[in-house]
Structures are given as structure tokens and as C-alpha cells.
Chains A and B, each alone.
Chain A
């Protein structure tokens, strides 16, 4: 591997700095998972369709499979590992649990981060807006309705 170029990248994830050496072609998702040990960000398709790898970059939901780690220096990244406050679940996590919004749980981190980013910017969405937003991620277990219910419940709680 000696002939492969690696560069040093500093990533800020969930408020913590990580200094990693990666090839420029290494995706953000792989870097988070393999170099930072944050395996809560899942890869479902690696071509930007399923949304399982959705994280927040400077508050915006992004597909971590479509970004390179080297693009993310200086950004504030947030992943599912940073969502709960210690033992206290984030309102979205709590609402997914209470509404049976997950079965296998593989797509869950992506949905949680997608909805977190969305609700932080638009705290009072109507149902059609929520559906439009949630249609950017795929779930194969739940049939989506419990996810929709969970996000509605969490939105109300996050508004306080």
C-alpha cells in the first residue's frame, strides 16, 4: 500500500476532533465507520438513493456515501451517536421507539438524522412536507407509517 497517497484530515464529529489519514478517494461514510469507529452510520446502497448513511453536515442532511472525507475539513458533522443526551434519548429516538418506527433498525440512523436536520430548520411542517422529506430515504420493514407518526410526535415535542 506504500504507493497509495494518503492525506491527513481533521474531522469534527459530534463535537469531537478526529485526526485521520485517508486516501483522497475515501468516502466520508467509510471514514466515519472505519477511521472514527462510528459505525452507526450505515451504508445501504453507496449511490445516494437509500439514505441510510444520512448525517448532518453544518446542520444539513447529507449522504455520507456521496462525500469524500477530504471535503469535510472544518465542517461540523453530526451522526446518530451524538443524538442522545447521555442516557436520555432525543425526542425523535424516543418517538421512533414509542411508535414502533423501526424493525430491523438498519435504516433508522439515516431517518433519525434526516428528520433531525429537517425539524431543526422547519419546526412546524405539515403532513405533505413531512412525506416529501421522508420520501428521500428507504425503509424495507415498517411500511413507513409508524415513521411518519414518530416524526409528527417528535416535531410537537421539539417545539415544546
Chain B
């Protein structure tokens, strides 16, 4: 059977359907203590005194710690670092003298019971001396805002581009603050195991191997003394699994107190303390010729990082400045990004970091250029797309330490296929008709280039035991995206077994020495390829060994459903893979014992999938409500290992994108108090706001960078959602330039609609 390319049902679903999942909060250990974090209630203040005596007096409270108790622990280091000298902006695990955002951990309570721990946390009295908060660190008057660094990228002769331009089009655009908000909040449980002399933490996600090293280093322990375990993970989206203060605190407490420590975040904490994202202002200028050719683009942007630089350092800004040009040639380009601090929750990555924002900026700009030149926006896009014969296309920019080289693609072909899928002429005619009848409807498009498959490596070990059971062990992680099924499919096809019989183990730092983790749409590209390599080696070893057993040359043998036999003679003599494994016991065969192999896939460059989002919206100018009637995603995936799972990724991403485009916004008042700290205020889409996402999945441009030809699927569902919806709203409102800010909340849309001349 060909598993690769087939929409087989997921092998990981059963425990999730029956209530047997093991999420972070599902583990309970005897004698455990519960940790509760005391968080700052002010945005910026000097900590005059933290009085813990009443809390400590409660029966059942074991300890209360403030910064004084943990001052030997260094701040949380960067997982990815692109600019030197930013260490002073890292976050301590408990605030040191000054608190810088509402929700910052100031102290922890360790108590017998979670209700008691919460009671005690309320008895920790904090005296603050108020300091002036920075809530909006943007231009033109940054005031007291700290600019940590300026990230600048570009190429070509910008001066010449602007000097010779027929028209210069300028715009200021803003993407609000929102983030992944997985349905499972964070959680971690740590205990010391004297048998193996290790501190073990359950509740790891995304990057367990990296976090193990970081925790070991912060606690001054050898790497082998820390062990991280991933359970089921209730959604990732960039935010979950990064190293946060609470992860370090549970490990420290487990070591110091000698008891298991359990910390489960509540939703309010999550919305105040886990990474926010987006929050950018761009001022962008384009130099264009009369025929729509874009000669050059100059961008200046401000990225509000919040109060500290967390594990991603300036990763989002890196991606913003390096990938803003997207699918277009743009002979000259520059982006200057001010990385600003404010007294708000620190930011990290959220699905399509830097691309959601820049695709909104770039594609709104394209529509504005089209309006100015009175050209069809599809025509302007077509004019500027990178032609297929220029692939691979070298952007002459670096992103995340690797050159931006689009590996393969035919952007014009995808545009044609999308227009055909939409029935573009008929659709625009129908919308024109509805507008003439008084409806406020519009169509918007966003073209984007994604990035995926970030290296430099990942590895997989494939083992067949004597019972014939196949185990794939990988250092990547699962955040619910279908890792187990996809790796089982690749292993099954390569080795010649049934996918349903393959077990996949991931996210356990003691089962494989190295692992990069699950982010940047990298798992299928990197671990899929490593699985192919490892399973290929196991197959070779199996055929060699079976050759002696069946008295046939290895090249004449094949494997099907775990049975080895002579090709063309399925009813002839055969041996099962388990029997082959039994021949490879130590001392019985030459070479490494056992039917097992490791495959390590290494790559220097990312692979760049691309796509187009199209939205049809209806606007109620009175209420400002925007209804997404249709949402289409055309996506070039190279090769889909499991089309149904790819479509699931795209539909889920699109739903989140619709949320970011219309609903989700972390608002603050002028004193830095968050106004969105529950699901009553932070609005996420329900089934009513999300239409059926129509997916046009294309396999026209396989990646030359990996043996499967795949490109990542994790992020392309969200990338252009803000762009397409904003362009559609602008189209509905008669091409309004005022549509320049996400989310397009009802009050914002209503304000724009009211400012327009009535038809």
C-alpha cells in the first residue's frame, strides 16, 4: 500500500477520544505540592516590600519564595539569538526589584492543595512604588520607551528606485496584539528521582531537548541530571513549550523541597503571562512605474516586544524584515525595524510569525497601488511575481542565520489555478451585482510565501523487535498536529509494514540524544526525511539478513506487511521481520545487534511553500460587523504525505487568522492594565464565525531540498488571512485606505464606514 499521499486516519486519536489523554494537568503524584504564582498587579513599579508572613502562617503552606530566594538562578536565556548584547533585557524567574508588566511572577507559594495555594497567594502583600508605564512605544515620540536594537535588512539601490518612480505610494499599517491561545493552558510537574539522580519534568512541549539543556544550565546541573517528558499537548501555535519562569521554578522547588511540585496555569494567568505576539506598526513606501511594476520598497517598523526579550529574542523581527517582500521581485528593498520594550506582556512567536504581519502590510500596499494606478490588483500581483524561471530565487537577505533562497515554485501558475478555482470573472460579476443592489460586499486576496523545514538537523531511530513491532523514536515533539500518523506513514512505506502497526515516540529526552523540536513547520520536512533514511537502512539490513534465511539475493527480496519474500512470489517461502530481528541478537550476527538504525537528516536551507488566501466578506455598515462568507486557501505543499491532515492544518490556521483579523486583541488602558484577561473579553472565533475553508492543495513544485519533496503545512493556513480579509473589507467599502489596522473590530469598521461618503 502507498501510505504517503493517502489520507489515512490518525493513529493517535483513540486515547484523545476516550478521555485517556495525558495532558499536563492529568498527572498526580503522592505527596505533591501545588505551586501558585503571585503576579504583579501593576504595569511598572518598584517592589518596596513583599510580605509573605500571613501566607506562611497558613496550615499546609510549605514555602513562599520571592526573588531573594532564587537570586542565584540566572534569567531565562535566548533559545534563538540573532543580535549580540541583548542579555540585559532577559526575564528573571521572579521579578528583581522592579516589576514591568501586569502578570509578572513576583513570588511563588508552595502548598498542599491548589485551593489552599490560591488562598495563600492572596495573603502575599506587595507594596509597589508606581513608575511611569510605557503602553504605546511607537513613533513619532517614543518618549521613555526603550529601543533594544534596530534590525535592518535590504538590498538593491533604493535611491535610484525612488528617484525614477512615476508614483510613490505610502501607507501606515498596524497589526494588533494577539497570540496562539491553545485550549490547554500551560502546566508542569517536576520531581526528583533518587534512583537515577535526575530531576524529571512532565509537561514539556515543542522543544524538550533545548529546554532540558536550558534548565540544567540554570540550575547548575549536568545535562544528564535533567529529564523532560512530553505528554499530550493541547495545542502549540508557537506559544506553548517555550521555556518560561514557571518551568524552572517547579524543577528548582522539586530539588530543594524533595517533593513533587505541580503547577497548572489558569486561563487568566495564561492571557497575562504566556507569550503575546504580533503588535507591529509599519510605515511603508513603494516606488512604482505607471504599468504597476514595483521598483523598490522602503519599510520602517516598530515591534512592541513587551517587557522583556524572551526565548525568541528578536526572531519575529528577523522574519519580519527578511520575508516582507514575499513572492515579488522588488529590485530594491529595505526594512528598518525598531525593537521596542513596553510595560506589557512579553512577546514571542505565533503561527506564521512575521509573515502574518508582513503579508497584511505588503498585500494591503499592493491593493493601494492598484487603486492609485487604477489597475486590477490581480494584474499588479501578476506583474511583480517572481517568474518560475528565476527559481531557485536568491533574495540576497539572511533570515535566522540562513540565506533566503526560495527553493522552488511557479507563482504565476498558482495564481492562475486560484482564479480558475474561484471562477474569478463570475465571482467578481456577482459581487458587483450585489453591490448595485445595495449590499456591502467585497473580495480580497493575499499572496504569500511561507518558510518551513528549519534545520539544521533532526534524527529518528527505527527499531523492529522480535515480535515484529516497529517503533519510531524521534526528538521532535507533538503539539497535536498529527506527527505520529505522518511519521508512521513514511516509515510504513519505506520499510514495508502497515502504518497502523507503527508506534511513534516523541518528546522524551531520555529516548534519543538530540532533537530540535516542533516549530517553524519543520516536523514533516525534517523528521519525515530522517524517518525515510532510518527506515531505509532498517529495510536494507532486513533484506541482507533475510537473504541468508531465504537463500535468495537481497535485491530479489521485498517486504510487504512485515513479511519478507522473493519478489513476485508472495506465496513462496517467507520470513517475518520479527524473525529477522531474532537473527540479529548480540553474538549471532556481525555488526550492530538488533534490527535498528538511526537516520539523521541535515539541511542548510529552509524550504518555502507559498499560497494565496481569498476572502469574500459582507459588511454591515451600521453595526460594523464583518461576515466572512467564503474563505479559500490555495497552497503549494510540494508533496502532501497526508492530504486530510494538511487540509486540517490549513483550516485550523485559517480560523485563527480570521480571529486575528476580526476579533482577537489584547487591549490595555493607559496605565498598562490589561482589559482582556478572560475569554469574555479576548474573543476567539466559534463555529459561527468560521466558514467552511475551501482548500486548493497543489503539488506542482516539490522541494528539491529533501528526499520526500515536502514543504511544511503548519502555518500557511493563517499567513494571509489578515491580508485577504482586510483587502476584502476595503473592497467592500469602496477601496478605503482607512482599512489599515487589525483586528477589524466592529467599532473600527463602523467608524470607517461612517467616515465614507454615502453612496
Contacts and interface: CB of A to CB of B under 8 A. Distances in A.
B479 interface: yes
Given A1-B59, A23-B115, A45-B267, A145 B692 contact: yes
Interface string B16-35: 11111111011010000000
B633 to A, nearest CB: 11
A140 interface: yes
Contacts of B653: 143
Given A93-B18, A100-B648, A145-B651, A140 B25 contact: no
A140 B237 contact: yes
B235 A104 contact: yes
Contact of A39 (B26, B113, B234, B652): B26
B724 to A, nearest CB: 15
A137 to B, nearest CB: 8
Contacts of A42: 23, 25, 183-184, 234
A52 interface: yes
Interface stretch (B147-155, B161-169, B450-458, B681-689): B681-689
Give the residue among B26, B237, B687 with the most A Cβ atoms within 10 A: B687
A97 B10 contact: yes
A83 B19 CA distance: 9
B656 A102 contact: no
Given A38-B19, A41-B19, A46-B267, A103 B684 contact: no
Contact of A142 (B26, B182, B479, B651): B651
B578 interface: no
A112 B644 CA distance: 21
**In which size bucket is the chain B interface?**
35 or more
B680 A104 contact: no
B13 A97 contact: yes
Contacts of A81: 18-20
B266 interface: yes
A106 B183 contact: yes
Contacts of B23: 39, 42, 106
Interface residues of A, number: 60
Contacts of B267: 44-47, 50
Interface in A6-55: 23, 25-26, 30, 33-34, 38-47, 49-50, 52
B688 A140 contact: no
B687 A134 contact: yes
A109 interface: yes
A68 interface: no
A40 B21 contact: yes
A43 B544 CA distance: 52
A87 to B, nearest CB: 10
A115 B481 CA distance: 24
Interface in B1-17: 9-10, 13-14, 16-17
Contact of A140 (B116, B235, B654, B717): B235
B693 interface: yes
Contact of B687 (A34, A50, A105, A147): A147
29 contacts: A1-B116, A4-B116, A25-B115, A40-B21, A42-B234, A83-B18, A84-B17, A89-B17, A97-B14, A100-B645, A103-B482, A104-B184, A104-B236, A106-B23, A106-B182, A106-B232, A106-B234, A109-B19, A135-B688, A138-B686, A140-B181, A140-B182, A140-B183, A142-B648, A143-B648, A143-B653, A143-B654, A144-B690, A145-B651
Given A103-B652, A145-B651, 14 more contacts: A1-B116, A33-B26, A42-B23, A44-B185, A47-B679, A52-B183, A96-B13, A104-B182, A104-B234, A138-B684, A140-B180, A140-B656, A141-B235, A146-B648
- Give the top 3 A-B pairs by smallest Cβ distance, nearest first: A40-B19, A104-B480, A105-B16
